Structures are given as structure tokens and as C-alpha cells.
Amino acid sequence: MKNKTIILGGGCFWCTEAAFLRLPGVISVVPGYAGGNIEHPTYEAVSSGTTGHAEVIQVEYDPEKTTLEKILDLFFTVHDPTTLNKQGNDVGTQYRSAIYYTDEEQKDTIENIIKQKKSEYSEPIVTEVTSLTDFYEAEDYHHNYFEKNPNASYCQLVVAPKVKKTEEKIKNM
């Protein structure tokens, strides 16, 4: 069976990349940008909040080793899908909760999972669900950021707790 891809935005891509690299069945995780209105955006442009892009990760996975349901379960574990344009102290449309699907089967699965997850939250889920139009890979220095910079303050304060939460979640999958 051919590998599949899904694009996820759950706040800073350093956090989501580090989390999804740990999920068995995931082949690769590439940080990047999606959902905006200019071609080939830079980190600086996206960070300004003027391009409309979200920080996202492109998750390639082997559907024989993991499922989209497991990927989405982890996605809803490592970020707060009820906060609009914000994750923790990271504020702006570039940090929005978003899922960009690549086919109708993914769309149906995403919509079903969101319906199931609604009861787990006291606030409405505000995750944007839309068809992927463009994905732009982030600059090289963003790739494997947590692994390369484990002692950076942001990594210790924000990324490391999400990685720990991910590892605990995976044990129970």
C-alpha cells in the first residue's frame, strides 16, 4: 500500500514536528507553511501574520503501520483545538489549529473524528478543515529543531512537555 500524507497545523511547528516524529508508522515529518495567499513564504513573512499561512507539518505515514485516526488522536492530544489563532503564548493566525486534507476519504475521517472529540472539550473545536492547495517547506534550520536545540529555552519550556505527553499517549495507543 502506498504511503499517505496529511498536513497538520497545531501551533509552532517545532512542537508538532517533535511529537509526530515519535509516532510509529510515520515515515517523515516536514515543517512548512500552508493556507496562505502568497507563494513561497518565508518564516519572517509568515511570522508577521500578513501572509495568511499557518505553521504546519507534512506527515507522511505508512497506512499499514498507523492510521489517520491515530494521527488525528495524537494531533488533538498535543495542541488545544479550541483556541482560535493561539497555542499557549504563541498568538497569531500562523498558530491556528488546521488540518489540510488531500482527498475526500481523509475529509470524511477528519469530520468524524472531530464529531467524536467534541464531547472531550468544554469549548467548541475551532480547527480549520480544508483541502490542501499548497504546501511550502520551511527553511532548513526549522527541520528537526527540537533534536538540534534541546537546551534552547523554548524547547525546554514548550516542546519538551509536548514530547513527554506524546510519548505517554503512544504507550496507550
Catalytic (active-site) positions:
12
Residue with cell 483541502: 131
CA distance 150 to 96: 24
Other CB atoms within a 10 A radius of the CB of residue 171 amount to 7
- What nine digits make up the cell of 134? 499548497
The C-alpha torsion from 161 through 164 and 165 to 168, rounded to 10°, is -160
Asked if 73 contacts 173 with a C-beta cutoff of 8 angstroms, the reply is yes
Phi, psi (rounded to 5 degrees) for 42: -100, 165
